[in-house]
Structure 1
Amino acid sequence: MTETTTINHQLNHRTIRSFKQKKLTQEQLKLLEEVVNQTPTSMFMQQRSVLHLTDPVKCSKVQKISGQPYVGASGDLFIFIVDLYRNQQIRQEAGLDDGRLHSTDIFLQGVEDTVLAVQNFVTAAESMKLGTVILGSINNDPAKLIQVLQLPRLTFPILGVQVGVANQQPQLKPRLPLNLNFFENEYPTRQKNSDLLDYDKIVETYYDLRQANRRIDSFTNQVCSAKLGNKITQRDQLQRVLHAQGLCLK
């Protein structure tokens, strides 16, 4: 694949939420695994693992947690996990204590490893003409998810990815103008909603014209909506669940 082709795939990324009833081939699966395995890793600790969920019962339970009907329904479902457990076992077998494995610093390094792996996975999948959707919704009930996946302490599922042959062609969703999120040397703190008027109009047009779930909405309206408002959700368990997993204790 040429550099231009790869960049074109990245510039035209679309989230796919409908997949054909077709599983990955063993060749596709192997290639995606190898791409993830070559992802950059902090301090060469390789603190990430991936679960490929093929058990329909587990897929159904993850779907229920996410609240999204397309999760696990078609294509292939992968769960990307911050994994400090493996390195704990290596240290224990060598007669060492856990060292800094319970620190927030090491957990965040594991998060970096895992999120980078997700992006590499998605870029590779799209270069293979597959569709993807990154699933933050798997953590709508983090304690339940850990129970369903039967994960040991010192692990935490960060993101899911559904991948497969796309069964839709959604429009390209407009992102913020570059001048509003790329800066030189200093971060501009005097930003105003009026700076986003033109972008809001573009987003409103996108929602009005798109093929599915049409509505009148804007970017600033979404930021000011219940999405970021004060409300209690199962996601508020995150800190407690992290601590229960032996993570971010110091």
Structure 2
Amino acid sequence: MNNQATSNQTVSNQTIELLQNHRVYREFDSSATVPDSQLNDIIKCAQQAPSWQNGQHYSIINISDKALRQKIVDLQPRNPQIAQCSVFLVFVMDGYRSYLSSETYDGSFEGFKDSDTLITLATDTALAAQNATVAAESLGYATCPIGGLRMIANDLIELLQLPKYTYPIFGLCIGKPSVEMRLKPRLPKSAVYFENQYNTENLPQMLADYEQTILAFNEARERKPYRQKFADYYSQPYVAAAEDWLKAQGFLTKQK
């Protein structure tokens, strides 16, 4: 059977429908559980994500201890769903296994200290997290990524006993939603997809139009116009101490 579509056909299947209906849930039924067999499948899917040189530069820590989860919520009170969800996973950029490999073969490990390492490890970790997200949603669960963990990365390093050359970058809540969420509109395809070269010509107008779309969507947690949100966000570092924390973990220490 030929599953390829011609240029004027629209093809849908369960995977495409699942991905195109993704939404973030922030309120969970705390009484719901995820069976170990399904959690195992989710982790196996995460592990099959592509990674640079098959390095699999990530680790996944399941925060199953309720007291430990509450400590994280105390550090991140804007994300109470961490305590409410059935499963909370912390995704960690992980160069420690590469360090052990380097030690085995007497490598210098100097290349790890370069800025490109951050791109490599963050990419591997994000791809694994996305696979886990899709797997969880395919099983009927709701998900919520927690990017705010970057603000408490130094605390998590201690709480989770992370070794050098590792760094926590986000979390993933999985569970049964207690409140349904609407599908949030995205930027138009023409704002993010280009043929052969980047095109800046119409982006200002598309951003202005999208700002109105998001205002009309009227999500309670969005308190600023879309463009203003990012103007404010990038006016100063989001996590001022991040570079120091990264260096303390062995990142960005290459001598110039």
Under TM normalisation by the shorter chain, which class is it? Answer: 0.7 to 0.9
Task: With the length of structure 2 as denominator, give the TM-score of the two structures.
Answer: 0.86
Deviations 1:54-93 (A, max 9, x none): 1122211222233322223332110011111122123324
SS in 2 for 1:198: helix
Question: Residue 14 and residue 93 in structure 1: after superposition, are their counterparts in 2 closer, same or farther (change >3 A)?
Answer: same
How many residues align? The count is: 242
Work out the CA distance in 2 between the residues paired with 1:98 and 1:19: 43
Q: Quote how far apart the aligned CAs of 1:191 are.
A: 4.6
2:216 to 183, 205, 212: 205
Task: With the length of structure 1 as denominator, give the TM-score of the two structures.
Answer: 0.88
Q: Residue in 1 aligned with 2:123?
A: 112
Q: Is the 8 A contact 1:65 1:145 kept in 2?
A: no
Q: Quote how far apart the aligned CAs of 1:195 are.
A: 3.4
Work out the CA distance in 2 between the residues paired with 1:227 and 1:158: 18
Q: Residue in 2 aligned with 1:164?
A: 175
Is 1:182 matched with 2:173? no
Q: Is the 8 A contact 1:153 1:246 kept in 2?
A: yes
Q: How does 1:141-156 map to 2 (within 5 A)?
A: 141-156=152-167
The residue type equivalent to 1:222 in the other structure is K
Q: Quote how far apart the aligned CAs of 1:99 are.
A: 4.6
Q: Which runs of 5 or more structure 1 residues have no equivalent in the other structure?
A: none
Is 1:228 matched with 2:238? no
Work out the CA distance in 1 between the residues paired with 2:222 and 2:241: 32
Work out the CA distance in 1 between the residues paired with 2:244 and 2:163: 16
Q: How does 1:1-250 map to 2 (within 5 A)?
A: 4-21=13-30, 22-67=32-77, 68-191=79-202, 193-207=204-218, 213=220, 218-224=225-231, 226-230=232-236, 235-250=239-254
- Higher deviation after alignment, 81-90 or 2-11: 2-11
Q: Which runs of 5 or more structure 2 residues have no equivalent in the other structure?
A: 1-10
Q: Is the 8 A contact 2:27 2:179 kept in 1?
A: yes
- Higher deviation after alignment, 131-140 or 81-90: 81-90
Question: Residue 17 and residue 214 in structure 1: after superposition, are their counterparts in 2 closer, same or farther (change >3 A)?
Answer: closer
Q: Quote how far apart the aligned CAs of 1:146 are.
A: 1.2
CA RMSD after TM alignment:
2.2
Question: Residue 57 and residue 199 in structure 1: after superposition, are their counterparts in 2 closer, same or farther (change >3 A)?
Answer: same
SS in 2 for 1:170: coil
Question: Residue 194 and residue 108 in structure 1: after superposition, are their counterparts in 2 closer, same or farther (change >3 A)?
Answer: closer
Q: Quote how far apart the aligned CAs of 1:214 are.
A: 7.0
